[in-house]
């Protein structure tokens, strides 16, 4: 036997002895480095809430889908791309709203898509067709064919949603599948983007991370009350499109592939105390017209700068968001009665609502989803 073999046998015996020594005390009932919990008791109320939330999440997840997008390959001479020869890919979330294969997601998720694929909760993959989209609210409608026994998530009444209610945000953040976060409705009000036409969005502290876009925000009844769309940069708050707004837009997306928003063509601001004497007003109310765009509906109807609009077709206006909401939801081509104050005197005009024309970004370039503070714009056009 060579001199090295005894040393090898000694080393082997030492290793075996060390392993047995480590396992021995535990197996023989010796002291442990941790404590087993054998008498933990959960309060019945908490246990019930815990089980109900887990059961709710399990019931909803089959209706959640993963949206994968391959974007068009940019031109080879486009020097702004790091690797222009490579197609760009992105992912997002969505959910089934009809057993025929209709799926709701965000418009920015499928922006510039050359191909869209939907993966169901059971792993099945289907090519998806973009039925319609609206960048202003950030909503899109997809369709897949051939899928059987789809789980449909029902849309609830978002107007009944109250601040403080529990909600679940479902999605596929960071490429992770079937993620659920829990929180409350923290606010109902202006979203982070300027383009949204005056409708209140749902603010929540339920985590909405990259990849959650297009997923459902669900109440404890299992109803979709919103479509997750964006989050603040620090991730502390997120925003969702209210379900009632989604229900208002879906018919147009399904039949026309777009949403026709109403348009006046004015830049507007809030009326302040400083405006009372200058404009001969008695109270701070209405919407101050800062400027009128030449040739647009307001200009054709006789609206002037420094007019204060206080009503449209009987709807009382208190703030610029009121005017945005009323005008944007009025059918294009409809004649409306505009009540305004001009030099302190009430005047009525008839204005024909025009069509809002979206300001397109560069061809093939998806819009940047960098949120801004709600009070950033002072002159929102409408």
Average pLDDT over residues 23-51: 77
77 compared with 197, residue with greater pLDDT = 197
272 compared with 9, residue with greater pLDDT = 272
pLDDT at 79 over 70: no
- For domain 158-245, give the CATH number: 2.40.10.10
pLDDT tens string 111-120: 989 999 999 9
Q: Which residues contact 131 (CB under 8 A, 6 or more apart)?
A: 102, 141, 142, 143, 253, 254, 257
pTM score over 0.75: yes
3-state secondary structure of 346: strand
Write the DSSP string, 162-206. -TT-EEEEEE-GGG-SSEEEEEEEEEEE--S-S-S-S--EEEE-S
Q: Any idea of the CA torsion for 118, 127, 139, 237, to the nearest 10 degrees?
A: 20
pLDDT at 39 over 70: yes
Closest CA to 179 of 101, 92, 109: 92
Distance CA 220, CA 37 (A): 31
pLDDT given at position 182 = 94
Point out the residues that are catalytic. Answer: 108, 138, 213
Does domain 262-355 sit in CATH 3.30.70.520? no
11 compared with 214, residue with greater pLDDT = 214
Is the CB of residue 285 less than 8 Å from the CB of residue 319? Answer: no
For 329: left if phi > 0, alpha if psi spans -120 to 50, otherwise beta; the answer is alpha
Cα separations (Å) of 71 from 34, 110, 133? 52, 8, 16
pLDDT tens string 218-239: 999 999 999 999 887 666 789 9
Position 376 confidence tier, pLDDT thresholds 50, 70, 90: very low
Span of 6-10, 41-45, 86-90, 302-306 with lowest mean pLDDT: 6-10
Domains of the chain: which residue ranges?
158-245, 262-355
pLDDT tens string 240-295: 999 999 999 999 999 999 999 999 999 999 999 999 999 999 899 999 999 999 99
pLDDT tens string 140-194: 999 999 999 999 999 999 999 999 999 999 998 876 777 899 999 999 987 766 5
pLDDT tens string 101-111: 999 999 999 99
212 compared with 64, residue with greater pLDDT = 64
Distance CA 181, CA 171 (A): 9
Average pLDDT over residues 114-129: 95
């Amino acid at each position: 036997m060579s001199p090295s073999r005894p040393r090898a046998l000694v080393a082997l015996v030492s290793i075996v002895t060390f392993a047995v020594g480590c396992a021995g005390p535990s197996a023989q009932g010796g002291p442990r480095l941790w404590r087993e919990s054998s008498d933990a008791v959960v309060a019945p109320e908490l246990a019930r809430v815990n089980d109900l939330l887990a059961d709710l999440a399990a019931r909803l997840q089959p209706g959640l889908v993963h949206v994968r997008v391959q974007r068009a390959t940019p031109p080879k001479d486009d020097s702004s791309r790091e690797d222009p020869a490579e197609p760009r890919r992105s992912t997002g979330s969505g959910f089934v709203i009809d057993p025929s294969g209709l799926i709701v997601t965000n418009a920015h998720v499928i922006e510039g898509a050359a191909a869209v694929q939907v993966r169901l909760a059971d792993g099945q993959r289907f090519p998806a067709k973009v039925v319609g989209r609206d960048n202003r609210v950030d909503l899109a409608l997809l369709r897949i064919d051939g899928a059987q026994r789809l789980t449909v998530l029902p849309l609830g009444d978002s107007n009944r949603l109250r601040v403080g209610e529990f909600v679940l945000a479902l999605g596929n953040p960071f490429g992770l599948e079937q993620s659920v976060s829990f929180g409350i409705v923290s606010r109902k009000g202006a979203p982070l983007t300027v383009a949204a036409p005056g409708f209140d969005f749902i603010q929540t502290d339920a985590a909405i991370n990259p990849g959650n876009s297009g997923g459902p925000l669900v109440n404890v009844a299992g109803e979709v009350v919103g479509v997750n769309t964006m989050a603040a940069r620090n991730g502390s708050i997120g925003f969702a499109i209210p379900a009632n707004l989604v229900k208002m837009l879906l018919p147009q997306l399904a039949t026309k592939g777009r949403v026709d928003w109403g348009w006046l063509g004015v830049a507007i601001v809030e009326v302040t105390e400083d405006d009372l004497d200058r404009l001969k007003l008695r109270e701070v109310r209405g919407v101050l017209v800062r400027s009128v765009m030449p040739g647009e509906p307001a200009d054709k109807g006789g609206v002037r700068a420094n007019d204060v609009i206080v009503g449209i077709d009987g709807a009382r206006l208190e703030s610029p968001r009121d005017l945005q909401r009323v005008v944007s939801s009025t059918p294009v081509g409809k004649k409306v009665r505009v009540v305004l104050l001009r030099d302190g005197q009430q005047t009525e005009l008839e204005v024909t609502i025009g069509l809002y024309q979206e300001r397109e970004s560069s061809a093939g370039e998806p819009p940047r989803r960098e949120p801004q503070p709600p009070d950033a714009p002072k002159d929102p056009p409408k």
